[in-house]
Amino acid sequence: MKLRTLLRAGIASVALLLCSSPAVAHVKWFVEHDVSKPPMPIGEVLNGTFIKMFLVAVALTYVFFLADRYIHEKRYLEAFDNSLKKFDGFASYVMRISAGIFFFALWIWYLYHGSTFYITPELKTTAPWVPWLHLLLALAVFTRWTVPITGIGVFILYAAAIGDYGIFHMLDYVIFLGIGFFLITVGLKSAAWRKSGFVTLFACAGLTLIWASVEKFGYADWTFPLFAENPDMLMGMEPRTFMTLSGIVEFSVTFVLLGAVSVVGRLVSLGMMSIFVLAVFEFGIVDAVGHLMIVAILFVLIVRGPTDARNMLVLPDKSVFTEAYFMTGLYFLAFVMVFILYYGLHFLIFGV
């Protein structure tokens, strides 16, 4: 198969995945919700519409990895890709500055509104120490010797939020565990520890997005009030159909982002970051603050790129067709496992 054909197919698959769903803010920040209630039964989730959309996503996933592995095998733009991977220092500054802005914004929010939250808008708290910890964490990012304080503070806020909201609710925000660990390791001299910080950061960001995609299936009705206020978001679809599409798109884009090994992965990061940025125009300052850190992580993935740990998914002695088949099999496995974990943990924790 010619390179031009593969590139067109790969670009088309990414474009379809990114453009088939407009940006939707994290619904918990804007509507009433109750995670203790049982999600929609899996039998109702897996309807005809879901199956058709999923099969299309599987086909696009195969085409994407066919193009990605071909570009990787032929080493197209490899020198350019590798040159960007040296930007660890710049990436670290991006994360530190973003964390400083994020926590300073939370402190300013408290000054203007008299209310505060732990790390995302729906995690509200009346604890008087929280906004002042936000200020401390914002100031601590300025030096490499104090930035670990910010990382430790993120863990403290996460633990406090678990105490108030429960572990299942906080599984939505595993990304902050990755951010906390990254900020602890960022100032260390050990290259191995710094690399582990990037690996953990990217993995936790991916897990957060994948977990949120299953929530769109199980609790689609949470978003219906937003659709009533913003019907144009539906693009002519029924609300439940739209949420099915949104969940499959979010899962698929995140999976290909985590699995891509060529420079194409940077394009996926750019597309996903654009979606989160565009959401700010629709949902305002709450969305801007809430998604600031994930936008920062996606920007780091664009500029710095993934770590070498991604290469464990490469099968160097196999054809690109076998590699694409292997990654598509992992896609199937990941989809099933996340469903089992989401519904299984909900049952174990809440008993319903």
Q: How far apart are CA 193 and CA 122, in angstroms?
A: 33
Weakest-pLDDT range from 73-82, 143-152, 179-188, 309-318:
73-82
Q: pLDDT at position 131, please?
A: 95
pLDDT at 22 over 50: no
pLDDT score of 82 = 67
- pLDDT for res 16: 41
Q: Are 285 and 93 in contact (CB under 8 A)?
A: no
Residue % of the chain over a pLDDT of 90: 49
| Mean pLDDT for the stretch of residues 211-229 | 85
Quote the pTM value.
Answer: 0.87
The residue that leads in pLDDT, 46 or 285, is: 46
What are 181's two structure tokens? 């660990």
User: What integer is the mean pLDDT of 133-156?
Assistant: 95
Rounded to an integer, the average pLDDT of 68-87 is 76
Residue type, 246: S
Q: Compute the average pLDDT of residues 109-122.
A: 89
Q: Which pLDDT belongs to residue 85?
A: 65
- Predicted confidence (pLDDT) at residue 324 exceeds the cutoff of 90: yes
Q: CA 292 from chain center: how many Å?
A: 12
Mean pLDDT value of segment 310-338: 90
Identify the pLDDT of residue 343. 94
Higher pLDDT, 70 or 84: 70
pLDDT at residue 86 above 70?
Answer: no
- CA–CA gap between residue 291 and residue 133 (Å, rounded): 20
Query: Which of 262, 257, 251 is closest to 320 using CA atoms?
Result: 262
- 305 Rama sector, left if φ>0, alpha if ψ -120 to 50, beta otherwise: left
CA distance 331 to 326: 9
pLDDT reading at 300 higher than 50: yes
For the chain, domain boundaries: 3-350
Q: What is the DSSP letter of 40?
A: P
Query: 164-194: per-residue pLDDT in tens?
Result: 999 999 999 999 999 999 999 987 878 788 8
What span, in angstroms and rounded, lies between the C-alpha atoms of 177 and 207?
11
Dist. CA 327–CA 185, nearest whole Å: 31
| Distances from the Cα of 281 to the Cα of 7, 52, 284, 288, 328, angstroms | 32, 32, 6, 9, 35
Answer for the pair 235, 22: CB distance below 8 angstroms, yes or no: yes
pLDDT tier at 81 (50, 70, 90 boundaries)?
low
Say what the pLDDT of residue 23 is. 39
pLDDT in tens, 248-291: 999 999 999 999 988 888 888 888 888 888 777 767 777 777 78
Radius of gyration of the chain (CA): 20
What is the model's pLDDT at position 13?
A: 42
The tokens describing 245, both together, are: 């599409």
Give yes or no for a contact between 158 and 170, defined as CB atoms under 8 angstroms apart: yes
pLDDT at position 7 over 50: no
pLDDT digits (tens, 9 = 90+) for 194-204: 889 999 999 99
d(CA 294, CA 50): 27
Residue 148 has a pLDDT of 95
Nearest-5° Cα angle at 325, 323 to 328: 110
Neighbours of 76 (CB within 10 A): 16
C-alpha to C-alpha distance for 178 and 183, rounded to whole angstroms: 9
**What average pLDDT does the structure give for the chain?**
85
**Positive/negative CA dihedral, 121, 123, 127, 129:** negative
246 has pLDDT over 50: yes
Q: Report the phi/psi class of residue 236: left, alpha or beta, with left for phi > 0 and alpha for psi in -120 to 50.
A: left
Give the pLDDT of residue 102: 94
Can you spell out the DSSP letters for 103-148? Answer: HHHHHHHHHHHS-EESSSTTSEE--THHHHHHHHHHHHTTSTTTHH
Query: From the CB of residue 347, how many other CB atoms can be counted at a distance below 10 Å?
Result: 12
Q: What is the mean pLDDT of residues 8-32?
A: 50
Give the residue among 199, 118, 102 at the shortest CA–CA distance from 166.
118
Q: Is the pLDDT of residue 128 over 50?
A: yes
The pLDDT-based confidence of 27 (bands split at 50, 70, 90) is: low
What length is written for the chain?
352
CA distance readout (Å), 69 to 189, 262, 327: 34, 7, 10
Bridge partners, residue 124, by sequence = 117
Q: Is the pLDDT assigned to residue 123 strictly greater than 80?
A: yes
Average pLDDT over residues 55-71: 93
Residue 149 vs residues 135, 185, 188: alpha-carbon distances, Å: 12, 11, 13
Give the percent of the chain with pLDDT over 70.
87
Comparing 267 with 58, which gets the higher pLDDT?
Answer: 58
- The confidence score (pLDDT) of residue 334 equals 94
